[in-house]
Structure 1
């Protein structure tokens, strides 16, 4: 047995069964995130028809969920830096499952918005924690790919929920969609409890109770030498304040550009995911095709995320993300030149490819930008403050649609923030981010 270095042995290993289990569970939890976020978009038309809810009112409902995600990311992620990533993931899964299932019982727009706020808390904390623990278990050379792969679970969940939502609504109504989604989320908890290990980085550098025993158990699974004592930590008073550390002189400028990039891309992404089915329906597509338009968008997103992860490992994160986002801005600006349901769906798939590929790359940027002691806080605050844009995007979208803006004109308006996001990503300067 040895004294462990502060650098995690995970960095230098090929993936073991334990690491594959962590990646798989985090992928699954992000699938649930995608399902739980998109379920409101897929049911919006049916709820609106039943309750007589106008587009601007639904913009408030969409934004309530995103506000919850922002609060969850910013409020819960610092807790994950104290209690651990695994405990946070389990807690967030419970919040998501109960609140989504309970949404099936609401009787008013106000209660619907409140339940979306509560479910958003769990979703926001979940996204930050899964990205963080994946970054801490992935080998350094392939970290960007594995983080992108895990976050790719989000559009996969959105796609699968879109495929089944239309048939569930037709047979059992929109309430059944929420009930099924909530129950599925709760049923995954035993798998998380059994298969998900705590971050070794967290155990070595935060050193919670029983850290030595827990770390040695993980080291044995990684086929690494165990330890007699934990590494000695440098007493860094500033590190004890995770949020202040984000704005220290070394982190301030890169953090500012990361937050700017995320604000802009979040505004556009959540405008798209919230309103694509409604906008597509306004173009004359049937309800079923309108729902599938969101599915096509997310199929493109999944392919784009994996492509971005591969290209980033070859050409660098910042250049790859910038290319994806500038290409997306061009597609959105030119959307008005396409016509017909086939080409509409093709362009939506390509927009999903670009905007989600670029967006997910920013998770990898945040995971690389911040050290272990504040990594969950850094990722959570970046995503949380970015979601201020996500709150604004659907609200602006609701106003535009309520004012009679066409799909092509709405897309043109939102091409600008995507372009700004791509430029801001290039301005993130750090020795840890290529």
Structure 2
């Protein structure tokens, strides 16, 4: 593995760092008082437009559709430098990281010309409509139906856990267009207007107090066939493009997430019957476990970066990072709450303990987003370790003959 920038990469990093330090100087570390959603959306849109005007969006995308035509390493360098700031990015991570690459990869040129520029500038926000109440990580088990009616498709069904659906202008939705085909072969994907008649979005209140996730209901929603992505019945193939980008996006440690240092500082402050918690062997062992996991995640990410720097495509090893990141965060923050005892639930907004508590509440969702632990362990077993594939008795059975869970 090569941990060093090439001279050209170092020059680009210096350029990006200087621009971000100036452009993002007015974005300070959050104080702990949560921003109102309208304020958060406005801040994200302002930052996205600022990047767009400076030429720091669509860095790896073709110039023909408004991108910069640079290498994945340029994108990684920008992401690394941007992550050092507190500039808001969350509103666009799904749209630009997952949806729009699917649109310009599988959509007609005129579709890409219509949607990509406005997504890049931040004018339009996108969401990903995949999961359903009875089909989460089993994406091929979806039941949302699309029926052709001339040059249009009529969509009926329900999606769930759709991030920022209530603030999105458009979404990509995977549907079942053939119930008599096997589960992976009867799917088709479409672009859907989130304000079209028949689309109903219901925010889901989370225990953290936020409402980022949503239920989305489709009742007789009409979509033009020109807004189909890929061929009819090839929705699984198209979905893999989205999922590849999703797992790359969520594979690393979340931005500004607490690590072993936060746990160490907490252990120094907590007093036990025998003195500071940091002096206890069992506490030190838990901190050491977190440190080892954090370092392993960093090195696995470096392996992926080294592959990209050589023009290679990172392999399924990225799934390892995702499994370890989610598990480590949940275990580390749960231990922090246990260590803090009652004060772990009554924290001062903006404090280090508040950040640990927030990460604890989010960590369970991280073990689901981008593929559950079970799905990713299968990927690691089959594609990294070369073990026999998991039994899939329903693989060739017509979907209409499968019993709902």
TM-score interval for Structure 1 and Structure 2 normalised by the shorter chain: under 0.3
Larger radius of gyration: 2
TM-score, normalisation: structure 1: 0.26
TM-score, normalisation: structure 2: 0.28
Q: 1 or 2 for the larger relative contact order (CA 8 Å, sep ≥6)?
A: 1
